[in-house]
Structure 1
Amino acid sequence: MKKQDNQKTGKFKIRSFAGLIRQTKPQYWQLLVGLTLGLIATLGQLVVPKFAQLLVNEFSKGLNGTLLAIIIALFILSAVISAISGTFLGAFGEQVVAKLRQILWEKLINLKITYFDNVKVGQMTSRLVNDSDQIKDLLSNFFPNAVTAIFQLVGAFFFMLVMDWRMTLIMFIVVPGVFIMMRPIMRQTMKVGHARQETLADFNGQVDDTLSEIRLVKASNAEQYEVTTGHQSINHLYQIGLKEAIYNSIAGPLMGTTMMALMVGLLAYGAHRVATGTMTMGTLFAFLMYLFQVISPVSILGQFSVRVAKASGATEHIQELLAETEEDFSQPTIPVVANQPLNLEHVDFSYQTGQPILTDINITAKPNTTVAFVGPSGSGKSTILNLIERYYQPTAGAIKIGTQDIHDLNLKSWRQQLGFVSQDSAIMAGTIRHNLTYGLAGDYSDDEIWHVLKLAYADEFVRQMDQQLDTQVGERGVKVSGGQRQRLAIARAFLRNPQILMLDEATASLDSESEAMVQKALNQLMAGRTTLIIAHRLSTIVDANEIYFIDDGQVSGHGTHQELMQSLPKYQEYVKIQFK
């Protein structure tokens, strides 16, 4: 409820914002130097009207070249100092946003899989790019501008008060009145700005989801559907942007008209004072210059409230992300995997409370044996492999290697012992060499890489490519076929040299020729390793040392192929359906 209230009001929490900035360990001296130079430049602009007052009052005696030169020098010097100030402030903001993005990127990479199950990639991208930009803009542009605007506003009022308290009193009455009048509009603008951030993040997520699966879109003839849903999202974003534009279009002219009316009124009043001899022309001229200097700060402070609202939303989003639980790499115990049995003991698991996926799973995989999992689609077979990979943690029970609970072991070291090949093996944009050595420490010679490619029956097609090991495979490996992608995944597994090999329908989506090649490679890869396999090939199941039949999240029976054919009717029916 508290979060919703904050989203509705767009309330800025200075402590949250300051805490987020402190995490980036910024170069505060850059901010201090930038602000100091900005104040000096503003001070130079504030004294210009005083010299202009003297210059105008001495027109009757002729043009004072010294005063004119001082005014020109002050203008130039203020501009130069302001430019230097902007450079320091820009560097400060860029340093903060760069560090913030590093923190966010590191956080995203180390988050648990459960986070990625629930949040769209486009929303994460929005946090990394758009929200961090909002914070940078506030920190390096609008905050310093607001500080100098306040200084300029106070300074201008001070000089105006010294020159003529009567006209200044009118300013003191009218300017706060303008702020009070603008407050409702600014409040609505802040709410709309916050909503725009939320909607933009959702739209980014939709775009990423659609474009990343563009082949599915086209294969499904879903172009019109995506065009329609995209138009709906864009229209929603347009409606919010239109509201923001309307509020801004009202605020700008309203403030401009009010300030113009104030200027005309003061000019008329000042002209009357000059005519009656109670004010000099130079004072009126200087007063109008200060009035111009007041208009800009008032506008800046009005925009600042809107930027604060956007930064508030961005801060909230980023802090929510930073509060997410990361994977724990701190466990000191290095796993002893070789010649150790892998056991799942009374394992339960559910993604959501009250919706069990696995119930009381008991499995033993002896060293250097092949264990197969078979059963209907959706029965929980792949979930078992995900639990062993430690993408998720059992809600009850334990997974052990020997006598060690795998969740007490160093996560990085544990995963180094695992090799995984799925039916749609992931492949990164980049070269073949990059994909084979991805995530592995140390340098690998070309001879080593060619050796694992040969073991995976992948060396021939790689040699036929123009750049061989340096061939680009394209986004998600679109430049290689399914069979080639699988053999590259097997070569990568050979290079990792895992103690435990997990195969999830590794040949399911291949044509018969590719399947034969991949199966030959898998047979070599499985030799001398503990292998856990989800398979649809009868030959693989028959040759397995132990088969576990998984049905509706439970182990219905286990044994060799012959044992299950004799003792488990469900297995008999499954074999009959799958392999007739």
Structure 2
Amino acid sequence: MAVAPSQEHKPTVDEKSPQSSQIPSNTTSEQGSETDRSLDETMSNWKVYSRLLGYVKPFWFAFALSILGNAVYAGASVLMAHSVEYLEEAIRIPSDSNRIFVCLMIVGVFALRGIGSFAGGYYIAYVGRNIVHRIRTTIFNHFVQLPCNFFDNHSSGHLVSKITFNVEQVTGAASNAITITVREGLTVIGLLGYMIYQNWKLTAIFFLIGPFIGLIISLVSKRFRKLSQRIQNSMGDVTHVASEAINGYKEVRIFGGEHYERERFEGASSYNLKQSLKMEMTKAVSTPVVQILIACAIATLLWVALSPEVHGGMSVGELIAYFTAASTIAKPIRQLTQVNAIIQSGLAAAKDLFSQLDIAAERNTGTVTATAIQGNIEFKDLEFRYSERGKAVLNKLNFKIEAGQTVALVGRSGSGKSTLASLLPRFYEATGGEILIDGVRVQDYELSSLRSQIALVTQNVTLFNDSIARNIAYGRLDDRSEQEIKEAAEKAYALEFIRQYDHGLNTEIGDNGVLLSGGQRQRLAIARAFLKDAPILIMDEATSALDNEAEKEIQKVMETVMQGRTTLVIAHRLSTIESADVILVMEEGQIIEAGSHRDLLEQGGAYYRLHQTQFCEG
């Protein structure tokens, strides 16, 4: 039945996935110095930035409003410095009309500056937060379509970090850098021109003391930056939903939960978007309001100071105008010095995210719709390697499973049992030979259609932080009635413990079913398989993590769910598969024995030795 021996091994990161070469390395490839970067790498940065700005296009109107607001802000900043020229005239020619005009002008300039600040700040934040939302949902939707070996080679924590932290970093390059360049750049140019016009000698001195002014402003700004970090508070839900979907990627695929997970993630990310915009709205409104209040206070002081009895006829208009410009220019100069850091940080994050988006999704070239299949399965010369140069995990396997049969795979750890089962729903692609279901190659079936005909119960049951009902009726099963869910739970002997909860099927079971015992978790997984009612069932070490008493209870349930289905059972404990129609003994990727429980014991071969070992241990 098998030909050449081979040995399954635990694949390394480099060996396990053929697509691992598509994932850029963040270590050796980036260890060169800045001076060693080639022109092609520089052009690559421009391409990344251009690709990043493509996400701005749907929000071009808001982006244009932000540019206009920034221009108004810059113009008002220059006008604010220039307005003190009229103050000198009001001091020189005191009158009630001059006093009123100057005070109203000051308030008006600050109001104009505030409007520009609000429009520039809020609308660029609106664009930035929507970019975060779009990139985040695009990355997540792409993740749920990637092949399984991608998840084998990446930890869920790193993947979640890409969706959360990396996307936030990208916002700086897409929005903040543009805001600083336009608003602060125009402000600096205008104020410097005005200062040189007023007194070029004082301006030369200003260049010497400017850095010290910037340092003082930087220290004062730390408090405001700390407050802005509160925008991250709503990221918890986004991280949680994404982590669940990534960790439970097999269940998501086999039960068709991609659409459900997209909706859950869309909802969590949309909530984050709303909270972030509220924070930005508060930030955008607070700055001009405070400025206008300060302007009103200054106007009041000027009203008093411009009284003839107070100013004494001394004209200081030009000096006030100059120092107003000098004090205003410190902040934009400091901001401009930080633009490059923001851009580089955003580009680094964008490169990483785009490299993930460029990884090919699962191949789904099949056109055959799998409906009402019988469940006849045939493995022909089946081979599998995790990489071209890796050892063969499966080597020339040939056997058939008739519709309705229960076939058990046994053998030592590393013999290829779980790998073989993973090839059936195309979690991985065979590197040689073929698998046929009802005479049709699995590659010829449309992927979601193929998986709709297969139910899966594994040792490590994945449950979601939702109700018991939603965990049983997961993914494409969410249209099932409450009565159908109850019937599935009853067949799985789960209804007896579900009824003990006050909310029954609506009971929330916590993160990954933390509120349930191992046996209860397994029963929910089996109830899920009952509800799906698929013609093919895979039981992958479904009871190996349970104690003997719980195993006996679950074994009865398994025998019920296997009836009338083509079942592939992967078992470590031989006592659970004695009633199987055929038992296949695997070793080093090959089938070395096949037969019923009694026949294999009578042969006195590998199965007999395994059975004796477990019997003696028991």
Q: Distance in 1 between matches of 2:545 and 2:162?
A: 36
Q: Helix, strand or coil: the match of 2:557?
A: helix
TM-score (norm 1): 0.77
Q: Contact 1:373 / 1:534 at 8 angstroms: preserved in 2?
A: yes
Q: Contact 2:435 / 2:442 at 8 angstroms: preserved in 1?
A: yes
Q: Distance in 1 between matches of 2:477 and 2:483?
A: 17
Q: Contact 1:486 / 1:518 at 8 angstroms: preserved in 2?
A: yes
Q: Contact 2:366 / 2:444 at 8 angstroms: preserved in 1?
A: yes
Q: Distance in 1 between matches of 2:33 and 2:128?
A: 26
Cα deviation 1:287-331 (Å, max 9, x = unaligned): 332222332221001122221221122112211211222223453
1:125 aligns with 2:160: yes
Aligned-residue offset at 1:73: 1.4
In structure 2, relative to structure 1, the CA distance for the partners of 1:61 and 1:336 (3 Å cut) is closer
In structure 2, relative to structure 1, the CA distance for the partners of 1:539 and 1:282 (3 Å cut) is closer
Cα deviation 1:221-255 (Å, max 9, x = unaligned): xxxxxxxxxxxxxxxxxxxxxxxxxxxxxxxxxxx
Partner of 1:60: 92
Partner of 1:199: none
Q: Distance in 1 between matches of 2:408 and 2:79?
A: 85
**Alignment partner of 1:313 out of 339, 348, 354:** 348
Moved more, 408-417 or 12-21: 12-21
TM-score (norm 2): 0.72
Q: Distance in 1 between matches of 2:25 and 2:614?
A: 53
Aligned-residue offset at 1:174: 10
**Alignment partner of 1:88 out of 116, 119, 123:** 123
1:541 aligns with 2:573: no
**Alignment partner of 2:381 out of 306, 321, 346:** 346
Q: Distance in 1 between matches of 2:326 and 2:424?
A: 71
In structure 2, relative to structure 1, the CA distance for the partners of 1:320 and 1:77 (3 Å cut) is same
State the one-letter code of the partner of 2:117. Answer: S
Q: Distance in 2 between matches of 1:21 and 1:419?
A: 43
Q: Distance in 2 between matches of 1:408 and 1:7?
A: 45
Cα deviation 1:514-551 (Å, max 9, x = unaligned): 22221121111111110111124545533222221100
**Alignment partner of 2:145 out of 110, 126, 129:** 110
Q: Contact 1:348 / 1:360 at 8 angstroms: preserved in 2?
A: yes
Q: Distance in 2 between matches of 1:2 and 1:104?
A: 19
1:293 aligns with 2:328: yes
Q: How many residue pairs end up in the alignment? A: 484
State the one-letter code of the partner of 1:513. Answer: E
Q: Helix, strand or coil: the match of 1:110?
A: coil
In structure 2, relative to structure 1, the CA distance for the partners of 1:55 and 1:7 (3 Å cut) is farther
1:397 aligns with 2:433: yes
Q: How does 1:8-47 map to 2 (within 5 A)?
A: 13-23=45-55, 25-47=57-79
Q: Contact 2:173 / 2:347 at 8 angstroms: preserved in 1?
A: no
Aligned-residue offset at 1:564: 3.1
Q: Helix, strand or coil: the match of 1:574?
A: helix
Aligned-residue offset at 1:164: 4.6
1:512 aligns with 2:548: yes
Aligned-residue offset at 1:459: 1.5
Q: Helix, strand or coil: the match of 2:413?
A: coil
Aligned-residue offset at 1:339: 2.4
**Alignment partner of 2:83 out of 27, 33, 51:** 51
Aligned-residue offset at 1:399: 1.5
Unpaired segments ≥5 residues, structure 2: 1-23, 35-41, 215-238, 248-314
Moved more, 507-516 or 41-50: 507-516
State the one-letter code of the partner of 2:326. Answer: L
Q: Distance in 1 between matches of 2:382 and 2:184?
A: 64
Aligned-residue offset at 1:166: 5.8
Q: Distance in 1 between matches of 2:569 and 2:130?
A: 49
Q: Helix, strand or coil: the match of 1:543?
A: coil
Q: How does 1:267-306 map to 2 (within 5 A)?
A: 282-306=317-341
- Bigger relative contact order (CA 8 A; separation at least 6): 2
Partner of 1:197: none
Q: How does 1:179-578 map to 2 (within 5 A)?
A: 282-329=317-364, 331-335=366-370, 338-352=373-387, 353-538=389-574, 540-567=576-603, 569-578=605-614
In structure 2, relative to structure 1, the CA distance for the partners of 1:31 and 1:160 (3 Å cut) is same
Q: Contact 2:395 / 2:589 at 8 angstroms: preserved in 1?
A: yes
State the one-letter code of the partner of 1:149. Answer: E
Q: Distance in 1 between matches of 2:427 and 2:446?
A: 14
Aligned-residue offset at 1:119: 1.2
Q: Distance in 2 between matches of 1:572 and 1:512?
A: 22
Q: Distance in 2 between matches of 1:25 and 1:337?
A: 46
Q: Distance in 2 between matches of 1:541 and 1:58?
A: 100
Cα deviation 1:18-77 (Å, max 9, x = unaligned): 313425753111011011012112201212222212422553333632234212311122
Q: Distance in 1 between matches of 2:346 and 2:578?
A: 61
In structure 2, relative to structure 1, the CA distance for the partners of 1:561 and 1:323 (3 Å cut) is same
Q: CA RMSD in A?
A: 3.0
In structure 2, relative to structure 1, the CA distance for the partners of 1:316 and 1:7 (3 Å cut) is farther
State the one-letter code of the partner of 2:438. Answer: G
Unpaired segments ≥5 residues, structure 1: 180-203, 213-279
Q: Helix, strand or coil: the match of 1:413?
A: helix
1:144 aligns with 2:179: yes
Q: Distance in 1 between matches of 2:597 and 2:369?
A: 36
State the one-letter code of the partner of 1:141. Answer: N
Partner of 2:194: 159
